[in-house]
Structure formats: C-alpha cells, structure tokens
Structure 1
Amino acid sequence: MAAASLLCHVIARSAPAGRSRRCLLHSDPHTAHPLLVAFSRLCARGPLRDALALLPDLAAAGLTADPVAVSRLIKLCVRHGTPSDGRLIHRHVFGGGDVAAPSCSSLFVSNSLVSLYAKFGLLDDALRLFDGMPHKNVVSWTTVVAALANARGRKEDALQLFVAMLRDGVAPNMYTFSSILGACSTPRVLAAMHGSIVKVGLDSDVFVRSSLIDAYMKFGDLDGGRRVFDEMVTRDLIVWNSIIAGFAQSGDGVGAIELFMRMKEAGFLSNQGTLTSVLRACTGLVTLEVGRQVHAHVLKYDKDLILHNALLDMYCKCGSLQDADALFGRMPQRDVISWSTMISGLAQNGRSIEALKVFDMMKSEGPRPNHITMVGVLFACSHAGLVEDGWYYFSSMEKLFGIQPEREHCNCMVDLLGRAGKLDDAVKFIHEMNFQPDSVIWRTLLGACRMHKNADLAAYAAKEILRLEPDDQGARILLSNTYADLRQWADAEKSWKMMRDRGVKKDPGRSWIELGKQVHVFIAGDLSHPCSESIIQELSRLFSRVTNLGYTPQTEFVLQDLATEQKEDLLKYHSEKLAIAFGTMNAMEGKPIRIMKNLRICGDCHAFAKLVSKSEGKVIIIRDPVRFHHFQDGVCSCNDYW
C-alpha cells in the first residue's frame, strides 16, 4: 500500500467507535478530513487500486465521499477497462450487493455508473440501475438511449425508450437526438424524427445536423443529406466529413470529390477521415490525378497506417503500379491489409507472377496471411491460368495458415477452372463443396460458359441462378449473349423476348476518362458528347493507322443478327473506342491514357487498343469490372487471357 494510503488507513482506524455505516454519499460532510482529501486526490490521479482500497475505510469512518470524486473514480475504471471495479464502487456507494440504486443515491454518481455499464456493453446492468433510479434527468435518459441505439438488435428498444422519455416530460438535447437518429429503422421514422428536431429548435445545431446527414446517407437518400447540408449557415469539419463520407460510401464518387474541393475552397483543413473518404471516391472513379493531390495531404500523417493502406488501394485500383510499388516500399509499417492489397493489386493489373512473389515475401517477413490474402493469391492464379498453383494454394491454405476455405475462395477456384476451359472440373468442384453454392458461384460458372461457348452448361447455370434469385436479370442477359455468341438466334431471341416482356433492358457499355479533374462519360453508339465531331474524325484516323498494322473488325462480337456492314458500324462506336479516341486527342506527353469501363472489354476493342498503343506510341490502361488491361507497344498485360 502507498504511503499516503497507509496514512489514511491508520487515521480511519483511529476514528471514534460506534458510528453506524451509512450511505457514503449522504452522511455528515467532513470536508477537511485527511481521508477524504487523500481519496479525492487518488480518484483524480490514481493509482486506481489505491483509490479503491480506501472505499471500505470511508464507509467504516462514516465519511461522505464527494460525488465528483466518485465519478472520477468511475471514469478511472473505464480508462483501465475494469467493469468489475465499477460494480465494486456501486456496492460500496449504495450499500448491499444489488445493482439497483436506493433512494439515497446521488443522481450524478448514478449517471456515471449507468455510463460505465453502457460503455462496457453491460446493458442489463445499465437498465436495471436506470429503472431503479428515483430521479432521472436528460443525461440519464440520453445515456441509456444512446447505449441501446448503438447495440446490435436493440434499435427498436432505443426508439421505445425515447418515446418514454418524451412521455416523462424530459426534453431531449442535442446528444439525445444525435444518438437516436442512428436507430431510425425506416425513412418514415427518420422523417418524423427530423420533424421533432425542427420542432424543438435543434435543427441549427451542428452536431445534430451532422447526425442527420449520416442518417439520410444510411438510407441512400443523397438528396436528403445534401439538403440538410445546404441549409446549414455554419459548418465545421465534422459536418464536411459526414457529407463527403456519405457520398463516397453511396458510390457517388463525383459528388464526394466536388464536396472535397468546396471544402478546401472554404478554408477547412482535411483530417484522416476526410482523406480516407476522398481516396475511396478516387478509387471508385479511377481519378488518379485527384488521388495524387490527396496524397500530398496524406504526407503530414506519415505514421497513419489506415490512410497509407487507402492510398495504396487507390494507386492499385487506378492502375498506377509504379506509384503503388514506391509507396509500398517506403511505408513505415505494413499490416496484413497492406500486403493483401499489394498482392491483389498486382494480380488485377496482370502481374500475377509478381503477386505470387510478394506473397512469398509476406510469408517470410510479413504478418500471417488471412482469408483476404488468399483471395488475392487465388485471383492471381486464376487470371494467369496457373491451374496447378491455384490447386496447391487452395488445398494447403488450411494446413499452412489455418484458414478454412470460404465461399470467396471457392468462387476463385470456379473462376480458375472456368477460365482455363475446365468446365466439367468446375461443375464437379461446385457439387463437392462443403456448402450449398450461391448465385455468385453459379454466375461465375455462367460467365465461363459464355467465354468457352458452352450453351448447354450455360443454361444449367442460369437455371440455378434463377432458382435462387428469380429476379436476377443478369443471368438471363448472360444466357442470351451465350446463344448469340453461338449464332443460335432462335434461342437468343427467345431469351430477349422474355426480358422485353419483363421490361428488362441491357445495360449499355459505358466508358469514362478523366481529363483536367473532369470525368467524361461515353456510351456505346451515343455521339452526344460535345466533342463528338472531333472524336469521329480521330476514330477514322486511328482506324486507318491500325488497319495498316493488320486490324480487321471482329464482327463475331456483335450479338445481333445483322449484315456485316451494320455490325462493323456498331463495333466502331463501342464506348471504349470513343474513349480511346478522346484520349489520344487530349493525350499528354509521357502520361498514359486511363479508361474505366462498366462491362468486360470485347475482343474487337481489345485488339483495337493493342494496335492503337503501337501506332500512337501510347500506353493505354483500361479497367473493366474485374481487372486492368495495360496496352503498350501492341501487347496487353493480360497476355490475351481474360
């Protein structure tokens, strides 16, 4: 026992006998008593053990503990992560072993104890104490409402308690509303809560508005969140972060980047939260130049691993492996996410052998691989046709790393076998899995069936998908495309008619390209772009150049029963060709042309891009939904295996 504590212990034991034990918070005050002074100091500074050791002595001496000191002691328990010590304080303060507070309790201390139980997820204890409190104020109600709102599966309880709070005549404050907004289960409930906020005049509070923005974004209501944001007279960094994160998470990368630019113009300095959200937006849009600007802001957070991982992911998914390699090499620390991101990034960019070399480095000098790492490794094998390697890694991952194969790993194996044309092996693998195949796995097989023109197996896979997800129209589209690939026009027309009857429309090919911080979108066959006339002229020039290098239109990639000339016209205005022409028109010396595409690149556009890269001496990088194609000097990084 420390010297000060020992002194207090002796003084306490020398106190007059015969004093009965009373509630610590309601006995006669002895403010100058050395025991109380020592207790208050220990509650403020610790050590926690010494402060707790004085509780029995205070009770024996019949001294009144200062509620502020007891509250500080409870906070010490929270800091040390010891809820059992909180229960000990509860028993000593209120007497007996019951967690319910008797009438002698201090509201201030009771609120602190409720908060302690809530922070450690001990909701039953928090509710029992709360229900036994003879007096409750807005802090009491808000603490329990917030705890229920943040707990899994208790949001409805939070809403019911909020209603009880209103019926009890307690007016919610900004913290109550900020907490309960996260419990709104439907847009209708959110609208009602928004109305209550306006009614009590808290709609101008920055904290509440930030929570309102988060709530609207959670339901995907970008307009609602933007409306709340635009109505604000004053904004702080928390609000800016809320709106930017909401747009980024909802997939509106353009909106997120525009808001980031506005935030900088307004004079706000970004923090880690802002930068992580904007990097996510840049990753989704493949806006490398904006991402590089964000990198400049990241430099001041040179030890922030989360930010560095987000930056690494952005470079990999924007196809800039030179930047990714450099960043990975100088990161002050790397965790399993860093290594996994680099492995997946190399694989997605057609550098599967290098991805497997990084995996070997990870095994020798990095952290233990996890299930995400193995998805990247199997992806690398799949997209390089490394069937034997893929089988080895899949069959040994549990033995070597203790990783039980999951659906994602099995999907990679189906993809590996399917791409390699081993369709029968893929079906056998599916039937021998330890769990029932889901629609994702059947869709992977269906894609392989189209690639290798196996209509019978494609029909089987499509049937399985529609059995699991009757409204999945993507399966019908893939099946009809498979029939069209095989020139089985009657079967294709039957599928198309069924889709027309259901009101299904095929998603047209879209490609987009970044130029001067602006994103230009091109749609197959759509010549409405302001520069369309110049783009058509540039396309004609490019076709003339690549024809001299041996290009001939591959009309088999037109999935319609048309004359050859009509097919060639359709091929000419595929979205990636329009984007390539726009890119060559505006290309800067030494910089690659970067294009994003919503659908898998067709064989004709692939051949065209290879030859344009050779005729123009340009690097063309096209990212489709699965991987990157780096075209340079007439060769693609995928080695024509995609």
Structure 2
Amino acid sequence: MPRRNLVAWNAMLSGLSMHGMAAEVLKLFSRMVAEEALQPDDITFVGVLSACSRSGLVEQGEKFFHELGTVYGLKPKVEHYACMVDLLGRAGRLEEAEALVREMPVLPNEVVLGSLLASCSLHGKLDLGRRLMEELVQMDPHNTEYHVLLSNMYASSGRHFEADGLREAMRRKGIRKAPGISFIEVNGQVHQFSAGDKSHPQAREVHAMLDEVVQRLRMAGYVPDVASQIPRAMDNYLENWEEREQALLVHSEKLAICFGLISTRPGLPLRIFKNLRICTDCHAVIKLISDIFGREVIVRDRNRFHCFRKEMEKPAVGTRKLFQGHLISAMAIGFVVRGSNGYEEDQD
C-alpha cells in the first residue's frame, strides 16, 4: 500500500488477532506507534487486548490496558473491559476478573458477563457461574448459550440432576438450542452436516471413515470427554455412558472432517465452517487428526478461527513476508503461530 493509515493498521491487527497470532500483533503495534508515529484509537486496543487474551499473555494485556489511559489518553470502553475480563478469566484469575467487572464505571453488558461465565465453565467455578447466570437471564431470558454453559457446568461437576432440571426448564420456556451445523467445500460444492447426520449421499463412507478415525484416535490416547455430556435418563446415566460417548463422536465438525478426508488428496488442508462454537472434545480431536493424518485443519466457528497444523521446518511464505515488513491481510494468508507442541497456542 502506498499509504497505510490507521484504518489499514487496525484491520491488520484485528485479522491477526482473530487468527491467534499475538506475537505478530504486538510487533505490528510497536511498528505502528514507533515507526509510523500513528496514534492508536479504541479499535486498535480492542485488537491488541483480544490478541493477548486469546494467547494467554496476561502481563502484556494488563500493561496495554493500563497504558490505554495513562499513555495514550483514551478512556476504556466496555469492549476493552470485556477483553480484560476474558484475559483474566482464561488465566483462571476469576476473582480479579469479577472485581474488574464490579468496578467498571458503566454497567457490564452481556458480552462482559457472558465472557466471565464461559471462564467459570472452563475452570469449574459453579457458584460464580450460577450468580452470573441470574444476571444474564435478566438481560436476555431466552439466550440459549448461557443456559447450555451452566447446564454443562453442572454435568461436568457430576450434578446431573441439576443439569437435567435446567434443560427441562429451557424446554418449558420454549428455549431451544440452535442445532450445530458444519460446512465443508470440496470441488466447488458445499456439503452440510449436522450431529449424527446420515442424510448425506456418502453417509456410509463418512461413518466408515469416522470409525477408522476413532480407532486411530484411541491408539493415540484419546479419551472422549463424556462427563460433560447430558444423559437423557437422569436416573440411569451410568448405564447410557456408551450412548453419550457415541453422541459425542458424531458431532457435525467431526463428520465434516471425515468427509474431507475421503474426498480430498492426502496432505491438502481442510476448511470447516460451523455455526456454533466448537466444544472442548472436538478441539482435542481435531488437534489429533491434524497430527495423525498430516492435515492442516482450519475451523471457523462463531467465535474465531481455530488453526491446527504440525510444526514445519520453514515458516510459511506469509510469515516470511510479514517479518520482512510487508502489510499482508491475515485473512488472505491463513497461517498460524505454532507453539512448542506443534500447534498454535490456542487458549479456548
């Protein structure tokens, strides 16, 4: 670009942040301020703080949040508080996150409280989760995501009767969870899968591939996260453990990936789109699939991009260009920062 204004820099920072590339975000921010002498604005700090949150950079995030006002003269907005609550919550510092919420100069919105509730689910803080749920229901009584989060927290802690009671309350109120649907494009045609889907013309081949995938996953040490699944018969939940495990194995993104494995050449990347956020079990499974089958897998859910790829000897072309100082769209190059385990450091 002949002239890179603040809009261009913010777009780049936001795109890299969405891809979990925190190191590149921080480097570009330093360049923008030091070399280009540009004054960051509210949008700039949303991109920087969200990058810190997604990569677990707590100290850096706290530093930028402090400098937002003291160095750059900006007043923190609710979006910045939401990033910080998410950052602290993901790191397990839930008491600090809640204190920050209560000290906000404005009333917290659903994004702030919902982020803290998600962190409660991640770290098993049931009591705080219940209190947050009461506040969120007052704001949006028909939001399914909050009900499902708390229900899953009950299930994960072994309180299956409470989980079932919450689900039953949802049914009585007419609150229905949107079905999870995943999409994959192969040879210019988009294929759609729902959980347990057998309507696809190649359903038999897809499920046969799924059986092979599950067998290889188990050989690699995979254990399904069945404890987080809600049993259908609460007085008999131990007996239907196998049923719950099977329900977990046929999530829509797993079926879409299996279709991709049988429909594309070995080594080609798989790109999946899902209308809901992927669960922790699918996240773990996709990491293993990427490793076992040597595939780069990119999943775009309702929250962000999740990129899984084994460590390579040389950085991707986009990475080299970025470090040479060229401003490249993160959406276009589609590469990831890889951690010591061979995958991106994903904090979801």
Q: TM-score, normalised by structure 1?
A: 0.47
Map of 2:24 onto structure 1: 354
After superposition, residues 604-623 of structure 1 pair within 5 angstroms as 604-623=281-300
Q: Distance in 2 between matches of 1:590 and 1:341?
A: 31
Q: For 1:447, give the aligned amino acid.
A: A
Q: Is the 8 A contact 1:449 1:458 kept in 2?
A: yes
Structure 2 residue aligned with 1:542: 213
The question of 1:336 aligning with 2:15 is answered no
Match of 2:58?
Answer: 387
Match of 1:641 in 2: 347
Deviation at 1:511, TM superposition (A): 1.3
Give the deviation of 1:590 after TM superposition.
Answer: 5.3
Greater RCO between the two (CA within 8 Å, min separation 6)?
Answer: 2
- Per the alignment, residue 14 of structure 1 pairs with none
- Determine the C-alpha separation between the residues in 1 that align with 2:155 and 2:244: 13
Identity %: 41
Give the alignment partner of residue 433 of structure 1, picking from 84, 104, 108.
104
CA distance in 1 between counterparts of 2:265 and 2:62 reads 44
Q: Distance in 2 between matches of 1:617 and 1:486?
A: 35
Residue pairs, 1:491-502, within 5 angstroms: 491-502=162-173
**1:640 CA displacement:** 4.8
For 1:617 and 1:471, how far apart are their aligned partners in 2?
42
Q: Distance in 1 between matches of 2:252 and 2:143?
A: 25
Equivalent residues of 2:183, 2:191 under 8 A apart: yes
Deviation of 1:628 after TM superposition, in Å, equals 1.9
Structure-to-structure mapping, 1:398-547, within 5 angstroms: 398-547=69-218
Q: Secondary structure at the match of 1:451?
A: helix
Unmatched 5+ residue regions in structure 2? 232-236, 312-340
Question: Could you list the runs of 5+ residues in structure 1 that have no partner in the other structure?
Answer: 1-330
Query: CA 1:611 to 1:470, structure 2 compared with 1: closer, same or farther past 3 Å?
Result: closer
Distance in 1, Cα, partners of 2:151 & 2:221? 31
Tell me how far apart the structure 1 counterparts of residues 305 and 175 of structure 2 sit (CA, whole Å). Answer: 29
Residues 565-584 of structure 1: pairs in structure 2 closer than 5 A: 565-584=242-261
Structure whose residues are more often helix by fraction: 1
Q: Which amino acid counterpart does residue 477 of structure 1 have in structure 2?
A: V
* Contact 1:382/1:412, CA 8 A, preserved across alignment: yes
Pair 472,572 (structure 1): closer, same or farther in 2 beyond 3 Å:
closer
Q: CA contact under 8 A between 1:557 and 1:602: conserved in structure 2?
A: no
Over 3 Å counting, the alpha-carbon distance change for 1:548 and 1:490 in structure 2 is closer
Scaled by the length of structure 2, what TM-score is found?
Answer: 0.84
Tell me the SS of whatever aligns to 1:408.
helix
Query: What SS class does the counterpart of residue 513 from structure 1 fall into?
Result: strand
Question: How far, CA to CA, are the matches of 2:131 and 2:157 in structure 1?
Answer: 16
Call closer, same or farther: CA 1:559–1:544 in 2, change over 3 Å. same
Contact 1:340 1:372 (8 Å CA) reproduced: yes
**Alpha-carbon distance in structure 2 between the residues aligned to 1:554 and 1:471:** 27
Measure how far apart 1:636 and its partner are: 6.5
Which secondary structure state, in structure 2, belongs to the residue aligned with residue 547 of structure 1?
Answer: helix
**Other structure's SS at 1:511 match:** strand
Q: Partners in 2 of 1:637 and 1:350 — Cα distance?
A: 11
**2:28 aligned counterpart, secondary structure:** helix
Give the SS at the match of 2:272: strand
Read off the aligned partner of 2:114 and give its amino acid letter: R
Q: Secondary structure at the match of 2:168?
A: helix
Deviation at 1:589, TM superposition (A): 5.6
Distance 1:442 1:508 in 2: 24
Amino acid at match of 1:567: R
CA RMSD of aligned residues (A): 1.9
What does residue 330 of structure 2 align with? Answer: none
Contact 1:610 1:636 in 2 (8 A): no
Is contact 1:480–1:491 with CA below 8 Å preserved after alignment?
A: yes
C-alpha distance in 2 between matches for 1:470 and 1:624: 24
Q: Distance in 2 between matches of 1:545 and 1:480?
A: 31
Q: How many residues align?
A: 312
Match of 1:364 in 2: 34
CA distance in 2, matches of 1:633, 1:547: 19
Kindly tell me: are residues 530 and 473 of structure 1, through their superposed partners in 2, closer, same or farther at Cα, counting changes over 3 Å? same
Q: 1:595 corresponds to which residue?
A: 272
Conservation of the 8 A alpha-carbon contact between 2:287 and 2:308: yes
**SS of residue in 1 equivalent to 2:138:** helix
Q: How far apart, CA to CA, are the structure 1 residues paired with 2:203 and 2:43?
A: 43
> Superposition pairs for residues 50-89 of structure 1, below 5 Å?
none
Distance 2:298 2:144 in 1: 30
Matching residue's letter, 1:385 = G
Alignment match of 1:396 (pick from 40, 43, 67): 67
